Structure 1
Amino acid sequence: MPASRADLASFADALAARLPGHWHSAYRQHVEYSDQFPLGEEVWDVGHVHWAVDVFVLGHDAQLSGPNGQRLCVIDRPLYRDQFLVAPLTPDEGLKPHHFTGVEEPNGIKVGNDPLRAAVAVSRRVLPRYRSALAAVRHNRQVRPEPPLRPAPPEVDQVLTLTRYADGVLRAPYTTVPAEARDALYIHGFQYLPHQGAFLLPAAYGAAGQALRIQAVAQQLAAHGIGVNLRHTPPPPGAAPALNTRAALPGSTPVTHRR
């Protein structure tokens, strides 16, 4: 890949002079490989140009600044000594990621080393797409200055708390269950056990079955202004060790049995 300043710099200057409107070029020599990383973040392309910036060591680049905040980058086309890549850059206007949602990338093109022909190709194939994309993201910034957030849940007057125990059972003490919630618990599989003074959802339903029933209860109670909280009890102290593990007795020596 050519590293001569004259090749890329002079081509970029000549290209800027032939584009419609007032453009000027700024050449940048990369002292280190990391100097091209910011370009990878700015190039508005999901095709050949982005691939070249991401995979190859460029060594240098040129940036063209034009009317209405338009910016283009010019780099050597990898593996082709007499060709260049020209691509739009994202606008430097404090735009946020959600402003680009739904906007198609304008993408860049490859051009030969003739500045006049390159200017014609860029003017016809790149700049119209670029202007359209710029207008779209600026419109998005105007109508959606901040990221769209999901609405907060409605306030509830009462809360039903369900506690999951280590054996998989879900339990709610009878005295803590709002009267309006009891029918919903019965309908969706909860059992009232008088000797425990609580509603229980058996572990026999399995985790998936319990989740479906809890979701159905929550949806039904939400219509009555009742929220549902799910809590877990901590594991009991001295819980059994993991399976297939065995602690050796103090002073014992492993015995090998041979046949």
Structure 2
Amino acid sequence: MATTSIFTVSSRQLPNGRSQHLHCPSRAHDTADPNRKHFGPKEPMPHHRADLSSFAASVAARLPGTWTSEYHQHAAYRDQFPLGEEVWDNGLAYWALSEFVLRHHALLNGPAGQQLCVIDRPLHRHQFLVAPLRDENLKPHHFDGVGEPNGIKVASDPLRAAAAVTRRLLPHYRCALLDVRRNALEQPEPPLLHAPPEADQLVTLFWYEDGVLGTPYASVPEEARIHLYAHGFQYHPHRAAFLLPTAYGVDGRALRIQAVAHQLATQGIGVNLRHAAPAANQVPPAPPTTAPATASGKPRTTARR
């Protein structure tokens, strides 16, 4: 059945003094088919995503240089995990790969080892995410100090998307690649830390049961004592020890320990920090269940008669 709408006419005054007539359909007189389906906010209209495969191929054809496109479908959720490890992004692309199940992705391979991934943008059916990938030939320490070039969101129009990638993504990606490849040339292997040689002298600081931090005076090398004094340790004659006052607080004592350890290290003196063995660990032997026998073989008793 055809829909007949009756228009009402209203007018408004324009700035130039003329009147403009507005024709508005009157819904009260809508004679539409009562069986016609209307879509409301709780029942969204059916929608379909833009095709990722053809979109990626069209974008690759419009990027500067020679680019090719590879389309990959995911048979299972775990198929997207490797891509999440390789994506050089800490924004939208990384979020999408870590928080959503993606059915597929496309890889764009360009000149000089450049690689981009294209994925659907979750919750936006007419948008995609394009993000750079790390160079798989480089090691993790080569990326230290280099910021992520990050990906961008693009519309489903390949022409506009290619222009956005060329202008906003590729320049940052190329600069980041230059930085990490320079790092690889300057430091091919990771800077491993090796164990230092053993110190000839050693100062051991103890945490005692009562919360006191200190060390016996006699165990401190003579040339180290001046540094303990300088960093707040006090000598207590009645305990024959250097003690760090609790009045400094937890943070204050931590800073002084760090400072004195650094100062002593420059003098070739090592510093250890450990808890003192509690005296309560020395458990006295249990009393015998029977009194020890005397020479006559009779048990000794201490009871008075």
TM normalised by structure 2 equals 0.63
Select which of 167, 175, 178 maps to 1:132. Answer: 175
Map of 2:199 onto structure 1 = 156
Residue 58 (1) aligns with residue 102 (2): yes
Map of 1:179 onto structure 2 = 222
User: Could you say if the C-alpha distance between residues 113 and 105 of structure 1 is closer, same or farther in structure 2, counting changes exceeding 3 Å?
Assistant: same
Map of 1:192 onto structure 2 = 237
User: Could you say if the C-alpha distance between residues 24 and 164 of structure 1 is closer, same or farther in structure 2, counting changes exceeding 3 Å?
Assistant: same
Residue 39 (1) aligns with residue 83 (2): yes
Equivalent pair of 1:201/1:210 in contact (CA under 8 Å): no
Equivalent position amino acid for 2:269 in 1? I
Deviation at 1:37, TM superposition (A): 1.9
Map of 1:168 onto structure 2 = 211
User: Could you say if the C-alpha distance between residues 218 and 89 of structure 1 is closer, same or farther in structure 2, counting changes exceeding 3 Å?
Assistant: closer
Q: Deviations over 1:234-259 (max 9, x none)?
A: 332389xxxxxxxxxxxxxxxxxxxx
Deviation at 1:35, TM superposition (A): 1.4
Residue 228 (1) aligns with residue 271 (2): yes
Select which of 88, 100, 103 maps to 2:146. Answer: 103
d(CA) in 2 for partners of 1:78, 1:95: 31
User: Could you say if the C-alpha distance between residues 24 and 199 of structure 1 is closer, same or farther in structure 2, counting changes exceeding 3 Å?
Assistant: same
Equivalent pair of 1:74/1:85 in contact (CA under 8 Å): yes
Equivalent pair of 2:115/2:133 in contact (CA under 8 Å): yes
Map of 1:141 onto structure 2 = 184
d(CA) in 2 for partners of 1:67, 1:33: 30
Stretch of structure 1 that moved more, 151-160 or 10-19 = 151-160
- The structure with more radius of gyration: 2
Q: Deviations over 1:34-89 (max 9, x none)?
A: 21122222222233333322332221111111111111111122333333222211
d(CA) in 2 for partners of 1:2, 1:150: 55
Map of 1:201 onto structure 2 = 243
Gaps of 5+ in 2: 1-46, 284-305
User: Could you say if the C-alpha distance between residues 74 and 234 of structure 1 is closer, same or farther in structure 2, counting changes exceeding 3 Å?
Assistant: same
Q: Provide the secondary structure at the position in 2 that maps to 1:190.
A: strand
Map of 2:63 onto structure 1 = 19
**CA RMSD, aligned part only?**
3.3
User: Could you say if the C-alpha distance between residues 17 and 217 of structure 1 is closer, same or farther in structure 2, counting changes exceeding 3 Å?
Assistant: closer
User: Could you say if the C-alpha distance between residues 199 and 40 of structure 1 is closer, same or farther in structure 2, counting changes exceeding 3 Å?
Assistant: same
d(CA) in 2 for partners of 1:129, 1:214: 44
d(CA) in 1 for partners of 2:241, 2:228: 8
d(CA) in 1 for partners of 2:94, 2:58: 23
Residue 82 (1) aligns with residue 117 (2): no
d(CA) in 2 for partners of 1:72, 1:219: 47
Deviation at 1:112, TM superposition (A): 3.0
Deviation at 1:186, TM superposition (A): 5.8
User: Could you say if the C-alpha distance between residues 152 and 205 of structure 1 is closer, same or farther in structure 2, counting changes exceeding 3 Å?
Assistant: farther
| Percent of residue pairs identical | 58
Equivalent position amino acid for 2:234 in 1? G
d(CA) in 2 for partners of 1:224, 1:29: 63
d(CA) in 2 for partners of 1:185, 1:85: 59
d(CA) in 2 for partners of 1:55, 1:217: 47
d(CA) in 2 for partners of 1:110, 1:202: 58
Equivalent pair of 1:85/1:109 in contact (CA under 8 Å): yes
User: Could you say if the C-alpha distance between residues 28 and 214 of structure 1 is closer, same or farther in structure 2, counting changes exceeding 3 Å?
Assistant: closer
Of the two structures, which has the highest relative contact order with CA contacts closer than 8 Å and spacing of 6 or more?
A: 1
Choose between structure 1 and 2: higher helix proportion.
1
Gaps of 5+ in 1: 240-259
d(CA) in 1 for partners of 2:201, 2:67: 65
d(CA) in 1 for partners of 2:225, 2:101: 68
Select which of 111, 136, 155 maps to 1:112. Answer: 155
